[in-house]
Amino acid sequence: MKYSLLGFVILIAGTIAAYNKVIRAPQCLFMADIGPCNGSIRVFGYDYLTNRCVHYFYGGCGGNPNRFATRSECMKTCYVENAEGGDEVEDAKFDLYYKDEL
- pTM of this structure: 0.58
Check residue 56 and report its DSSP letter.
Answer: E
How many domains are there within the chain? 1
Domain span holding position 33: 2-78
CATH number for the domain harbouring residue 42: 4.10.410.10
Buried b (16+ CB within 10 A) or exposed e, 77-98: ebbbeebeebeeeeeeeeeeee
pLDDT of the residue at 43: 97
Read off the pLDDT band of 100 (50, 70, 90). low
Please check whether residue 94 lies inside any domain of the structure.
no
At 80 the pLDDT is 86
Instruction: Select the more confidently predicted residue: 19 or 37.
Output: 37
